[in-house]
Structure formats: structure tokens, C-alpha cells
Amino acid sequence: MKDALLLWPAAITLGLLVGCGGDSVCGNGAVEPGEQCDDGNAVDNDGCTNGCLLNVARPVCGNGKIERGEECDDGNTESADGCTERCTSRKVEINWYLISTEFPGFNETCGGVSADKVELRILGPVERTERKDCGLSETTVSGLPLGDYTVNATVFGKDGVAITKGVATAGFSVTSDFARVDLDIPFADFSASYSGTFFFRTKWAGVENCDEVTSQRLIFERDGAPLSGATESGTPVDGSRAGNCRPFGMQAAQSVKNLTWGPMRVTVVGLSASGEETHRQVFDAFAGAGISNPEVTFDVARK
């Protein structure tokens, strides 16, 4: 009888911990039918009550603690600083490009100029400096207060030495929770010189075959002087002699290797089988660095 009396309180306690889900036992560490949680204890204020119900406190914006659902909490509800009155962080997306607007259809690659990092210096109500992998092409900066800013970009090579002069700058304003700024690093900003492969195809007044035009003459110039080099089939690019016409639809584009990097003027001349000049046109183009360069189509007008 004495043993039965000693077991009686434990039995009552066990009965209280059994949920309405039948055999569910609150406090055994396993979430069973009828339970929202089970953290293996009978502590009532740790997020899971001693009745195995969720009891998560609502976040309080402005208390200086980043809680569930908050991106930031700077201890106030001031709306003009980097953390809003809703405890969301203002974000600015910065996108950078290498020579993307000066020469239509061309955009230099980080690999072509052996670029490793881009350093972004943000000036305004607050100052920030961030260094990112060049190949990412974008980054998001959080927590900037409202106001007007400028961002300056400098590109660094794999040896840690700057390969641009750091003159690329763009302005932006933070007036809401999100802003975007595009920053183009121009050709003149680069301090080094490179070489690369130029890819191109030709059409003759829209015609893609070589029925009328049987040979072509190419003149690549920069600052009024012809460039040296030749296509993969041996046609020189200084205009000294003509080479065979290449149909537009050939599997591989025509290419000129080891061209000095930079803008150039390209004159393409089409010749008939008798050597008569039937087509001629001058194009502005850009010789990119490395081998990951776009193909250019020269659709040469009839004379």
C-alpha cells in the first residue's frame, strides 16, 4: 500500500504530460501527434511550452537585438538611417561592367584583362569600401542611410596591383529601401595594354555566299595607321593583298590573333572573280583582350 501511495504522484504527473493525441508524451523529445513541438523538457518559457505548444516571442523592432524576421535592429525606429523603422536594411545593388557602353556589341571580360578584384569606394553620408571578385559583376551593399552618394571603382590584377586608374565613378541616391547603380569602367581607365583574338563574319549586301564576291581585302587601322596581323587563312589585315572570300555560314568565324587591344576602324572590300571592287564599307570595331570575345558581323554595302 505504501509503495502504491509513493507511485501515485508520478502517475498523476505522467497523465498530465500525455497530450490529447492518444499516446503522445510531452517532454520525451519527439514531436508526436497533437504536439507543435517537443524539446525534451518541461521549461515553459523556452519557445516550446510544457504543454508542447510553440511559444515564440514576437520580435520588437528598436530594442537593439536582431530577432526573428528582422534584417537589422540598431536600437531605434529612426527611418532615415541605414536600418528602417521596420527593421529592414536598405539595399543598394551595384553592377559593374568593363567597357560596355562605348563600343556597341562589345563588353570586355575580367579574364581577358586578367582582372581579379574590383574595389568599390562609396562616398556620401557614410563611407564604405568593399573589394569583390571581378567576375561577380555585382554586389549588394546594405545599411546605407538616406542621401546622395558616389561610387568609385578600381580594378586589380591577380598580383594585387591596380590595372585601372580609378576614374570610373557613378552617382546614386538612396531614397527608399532599394536602389540600383550601374558603373561602366571605360577603355581610357585601363593603364595596361593587352592583345587578343578578333572574330568576324562577312555578308555582302545581305548575301551570305561567295558567288559574286570571290575575294576580300581587309584594312584594320588605329589612329590612321594599319595594324599588323592576318586571318587564320592568311589574309593580311593591312590591306596589302586580298584573300579568299569566306561564306558567312562557315562553322567557324574568321579570326585574327594577337591584335593589340583597343578601338579600330575596319575597311572591308569585296572583289569579283575579275578583281573588280563590288563592295566596300568602313566599320568601327573593338579588338578585345584574350580569346573570349564576341563575333562581329560585317554586312558590306555594294558600291
Q: What does the alpha-carbon distance between residue 291 and residue 120 come to, in Å, rounded to a whole number?
A: 27
Statement to judge: residues 152 and 213 lie in one domain? no
Give the C-alpha separation, 221 to 268, whole Å.
Answer: 12
Rg (CA), the chain: 34
Query: Are residues 161 and 242 located together in one domain of the fold?
Result: no
Give the residue from 189, 218, 233 where a domain finishes.
189
Q: Are 125 and 147 in contact (CB under 8 A)?
A: yes
Whether residues 269 and 239 fall in one domain: yes
Residue ending a domain, choose from 161, 189, 217:
189
Answer whether residue 168 is part of any domain. Answer: yes
Backbone CA torsion sign across 33, 39, 45, 47:
negative
User: For residue 262, what are the domain limits?
Assistant: 195-300
CATH at residue 264 = 2.60.40
Give the number of domains in the chain. Answer: 2
Note whether 171 and 248 are same-domain residues.
no
- Dihedrals φ, ψ of 10, to 5°? -65, -40
Residue 81 placed within a domain: no
Query: How confident is the prediction along the chain (303 residues), in pLDDT tens digits per residue?
Result: 445 444 444 433 444 444 444 578 998 989 999 888 988 987 777 778 888 888 766 788 888 888 888 788 888 877 777 787 888 888 999 999 999 999 988 999 999 999 999 999 999 999 999 999 999 999 999 989 999 999 999 999 999 999 999 999 999 999 988 999 999 999 999 999 999 999 999 999 999 999 999 999 999 999 999 999 999 999 999 999 999 999 999 999 999 999 999 999 999 999 999 999 999 999 999 999 999 999 999 999 999
Residue 30 covered by a domain = no
Q: Are residues 204 and 252 in the same domain?
A: yes
| Final residue of a structural domain among 170, 189, 208 | 189
The pTM (predicted TM-score) of the whole model is: 0.71
